[in-house]
Amino acid sequence: MKKLSVWLILILTITVFSGCMEIHQNFEIHEWGVFVESYRDKNTSALTEPPYSLIVRKPVIYFHGLKRYADIFVKIDNIEASKVIPDAIVYEHTIFWGVTVKDDQILLPNGSTYPYLFYEGKINYTVPADINITFTNGKLEYTIRNNCNYTLHDFILVCIDHNSIWPYDDWREILYFGDIEPNETVTLADGEKIDMENAENIIKEGCMDYGLDENEAEELINYWSGYWFSPYDLQSCNRAIFIVPQDVYDSLLPISVIPEPSDIKRVGVFTITDIPIAGKEMLGNISVNVSIDKQNLSLKETLNLSVMLTNLGNVSINLSFPNAQIADFMVVGLSDGSIIYRWSDDKFFAEVITNITVKPNETITVLESNWQPQRKGEYLILAWIVTNPPVYAIPVEINVN
């Protein structure tokens, strides 16, 4: 009742100072917001903040169809607001706006305009899915279960590993699972590997299917794509991205608008971060090294090299590869990183699963080959084993005179 009183007082106060409301215009409201939550909060029971705290990032509310002056009042509930634009009354867990809109733009007191209502804050929410990523036998396995009673639309899983050995060894895997229905479980076999551009298009088209126009969907993608797919401030990250039905958005962040619009479209894109990889610590026990027979050679000489794998741990490591290839190497230009030669480019590998076991403190040779340079210069030999994600050797520098 107290919140309702404040809501009514706000409307009456702004109406007195701004004049009569124009109530004869049909208009729509479009809203999108990205909800960010750490998967690690899922099992947390004692926090300085409430458990299941979900950060609501940059929800923006657009007006469509308000060509003449109109006084609009908007209320958002159930949020601990941290930022609002333009200024609003923030009372307990509620945001109140009273704004004048013309040509779908918000008129500010200084005479300028703003394209939308903006807010950020925290709400309480439970991660709706069990997401298990396991590093087993040299590759990642995925199992996802939808634990809620609504569909998780356009579910995308992103795994990124930023290496620091050289500038071009970053690894990224993006899997698209489509819609995951209530109580449905999906695995790696149900996912489709896609690239970043396809992932962006899937999210964009999904947002448009649920009511955003193309400009709004593009703004969302432009703002969030780097965070989702290229977060270079993190060494590694695993995150899930999906769209929830509007009734879920409405229940999490109830909205009231006076006068009532003809339609309200709200699109919530959820991002679950910090998804752990079980068994990934085994990667830390794998060391890959390159051995060469000479560091300085002429154009007439051949470089012989070996790629070796060492188990630094105290338990055996079992690795499984989808075909006969276990390792690879490249020769790259030292100055510009250009790829001069890649060993696997002209090779055909038997399509049989290859399993190897490396005992504690054991070193095995997984590739032996040679390379003859075609021009003088300084080069790097970069080698790795083709696990998923790959494990790289420290590059070896050579000189061709």
Domain that holds residue 340: 282-400
User: Is residue 189 included in any domain, yes or no?
Assistant: no
185-242 confidence digits (pLDDT tens): 999 999 999 999 999 999 999 999 999 999 999 999 999 998 898 876 556 789 999 9
Least confident of 63-77, 172-186, 279-293: 279-293
User: Is residue 88 included in any domain, yes or no?
Assistant: no
Confidence of residue 4 (pLDDT cuts 50, 70, 90): very low
Confidence of residue 276 (pLDDT cuts 50, 70, 90): confident
Least confident of 1-5, 135-139, 256-260, 345-349: 1-5
User: Is residue 96 included in any domain, yes or no?
Assistant: no
**pLDDT reported for residue 232:** 63
User: Is residue 292 included in any domain, yes or no?
Assistant: yes
**The domain spanning residue 393 has which CATH number?**
2.60.40.2360
pLDDT at 249 over 90: yes
Q: What is the mean pLDDT of residues 158-167?
A: 70
Average confidence score pLDDT of the chain: 86
The sheet with strand 185-187 has its strands ordered as: 185-187, 139-146, 129-136, 277-278
SS (H, E, C) the chain: CHHHHHHHHHHHHHHHHHCCCCCCCCCEEEEEEEEEEEHHHHHCCCCCCCCCEEEEEEEEEEEECCCCCEEEEEEEECCEEEEEECCCEEECCEEEEEEEEECCEEECCCCCEECCEEEEEEEECCCCEEEEEEEECCEEEEEEEECCCCCEEEEEEEEEECCCCCCCCCEEEEEEEEEECCCCEEEHHHCEEECHHHHHHHHHHHHHHCCCCHHHHHHHHHHHHHHHHCCCCCCEEEEEEEEECHHHHHHHCCEEEECCCCEEEEEEEEEEECCCEECHHHHHHEEEEEEECCCEECCCCCEEEEEEEEECCCCCEEEEECCCCCEEEEEEECCCCCEEEEHHHHCCCCCCCEEEEECCCCEEEEEEEEECCCCCEEEEEEEEECCCCCEECCCEEEEEC
22-70 confidence digits (pLDDT tens): 456 899 999 999 998 888 665 333 333 333 457 788 889 999 999 999 9
Confidence of residue 282 (pLDDT cuts 50, 70, 90): confident
Least confident of 52-66, 69-83, 249-263, 340-354: 52-66
**pLDDT reported for residue 48:** 33
381-401 confidence digits (pLDDT tens): 999 999 888 888 888 999 999
Phi and psi of 322, rounded to 5°? -70, -20
d(CA 354, CA 321): 5
User: Is residue 266 included in any domain, yes or no?
Assistant: no
**pLDDT reported for residue 166:** 56
Up-side HSE of residue 185: CA atoms within 13 Å toward CB?
A: 4
State how many domains the chain has: 1
User: Is residue 360 included in any domain, yes or no?
Assistant: yes
**pLDDT reported for residue 13:** 47
User: Is residue 168 included in any domain, yes or no?
Assistant: no
pLDDT at 369 over 90: yes
The rounded Cα 228 to chain-centroid distance in angstroms is 3
Q: Which residue has the higher pLDDT, 161 or 265?
A: 265
User: Is residue 109 included in any domain, yes or no?
Assistant: no
Confidence of residue 134 (pLDDT cuts 50, 70, 90): confident
